[in-house]
Amino acid sequence: MKVHVMLILVSALLALGNLSCGKKEEAPTTQETPAAGKTVDPATAGTISGIVKFTGTPPPPVRLRMDADAACARMHAGAVQVREVETDASGGLARVVVYVKEGLEGYTFPPATEAIELDQEGCMYKPRVLAVRTGQPIEILNSDDTTHNIHPIPKVNREWNRSQPPKGEKIVDSFARQEVAIPVKCNIHPWMQAYIAVIAHPYFQVTGESGTFELKNLPPGTYTLEAWHEKLGTTTQQVTLGPNEAKTVEFVFQGS
């Protein structure tokens, strides 16, 4: 009988040992670095600009319940509402990532070293949609009086999940591979949602309130442009740009 008791205690101790040694090592990141190729000649470069529009009735704003964390609720005077489809009076659609999806193969670009900020303020991500270059540093701030965890859920990049104490030290990280777009969650506050579009070249923009965008300094060529929206999905267009040409395109997302 005593042997059995000893066996139980030994197995319990071994299990405890396993528990404390189970921390996962993070996989090393390998950044996508294309082989040296063509560079853009500014003398022949052109511009593609345009607007992203939404037709139809946008879905109504959704009220967020922040009562799970009193600190979050305290940061807002009234009810907090989110519009997933944000348009201006003329139908210009905000928070759309417009980027060159195809047509830049063979080009190399200097790496982006300037850090881009993603803040957590009022228990919301600011901005909600962010676009960065592959390997570009993203500085994540916590301006709130509460703890957050930042959990990007990529499909082709490395997933991570880190906590950040109230007004804690900034977290700096980057994504190595192109991916449009990576959802980012805070599992402490399930209403918090952001998207990070990671693009391998500098030709992208997130539309502002008016829905407009401008991609400057593009070399002549035929491009597939994609517009990505968190709720409405994607739409693409082909554009051929001649030397020093300026072209205008319009993307339209249809509402229900």
Partner 1 sequence: MHTPYRPRLHRYALATAAATLLLLVAGGLVTSNDAGLSVPDWPLSYGSLFPPMVGGIVYEHSHRVIAALVGLMTIGLAVWLARVEHRTWVRYLAYAALALVVLQGILGGLTVLFYMPRPISIAHATMAQIFFTTVAALALFTSQWWLTAATRPSTKASRRAVQFARLTTLTILAQLILGAAYRHGGLGITPHLLGAGAVLVATSWTNRLVRRADFAVGVVTRLRILLSSLVGTQILLGFGAWWAVVRNQQALQPLPEMVGLTVAHLACGALTLATATLLWLALHRVTMSAESADLRATIGSPALQEGGRR
Q: Which residues bind partner 1 (CB under 8 A)?
A: 1, 4-5, 7-8, 11-12, 15, 18-20, 22-24, 62, 64-65, 68-72, 82, 84, 146-147, 149, 151, 153, 159, 161-163, 185-191, 193
Cα–Cα distance between 223 and 238 in angstroms, integer? 6
Nearer to partner 1, 8 or 246 (CB): 8
Using alpha carbons, list the distances in angstroms from residue 94 to 69, 84, 90, 250: 29, 10, 12, 14
Cβ atoms 227, 252 nearer than 8 A: no
CB of 135 to partner 1, least distance (A): 22
Shortest Cβ 34–partner 1 spacing (Å): 29
Amino acid at 143: S
Least distance in Å: CB of 249 to partner 1? 30
How many CB atoms within 10 Å of residue 127?
16
197 neighbors 204 (Cβ within 8 angstroms): yes
Between 101 and 185, name the residue whose CB sits nearer to partner 1. Answer: 185
Closer residue to partner 1 in complex, CB, 3/77: 3
Smallest separation (angstroms) from partner 1 to the CB of 14: 8
Q: How far is the CB of 187 from partner 1 (least distance, A)?
A: 4
The span from the CA of 67 to the CA of 73, in Å, is: 6
Least CB distance to partner 1 at residue 62 (A): 5
Q: CA dihedral defined by 167, 128, 122, 173, rounded to 10 degrees? A: -10
Q: Which is nearer to partner 1, 38 or 63 (CB)?
A: 63
DSSP assignment string, 155-181: SSS----EEE-TT-PPEEE---S-EEE
233-236: Cβ within 8 A, 24+ apart: 236/101
CB-based contact 254:55 (threshold 8 Å): yes
Q: Which is nearer to partner 1, 143 or 187 (CB)?
A: 187
Decide whether 203 or 253 has the Cβ nearer to partner 1. 253
Torsion of CA 196, 57, 78, 207, to 10 degrees: 30
| Residue number, 170 or 247, with CB nearest to partner 1 | 170
Shortest Å distance, C-beta 168 to partner 1: 11
Report d(CA 206, CA 123) in Å as an integer.
22
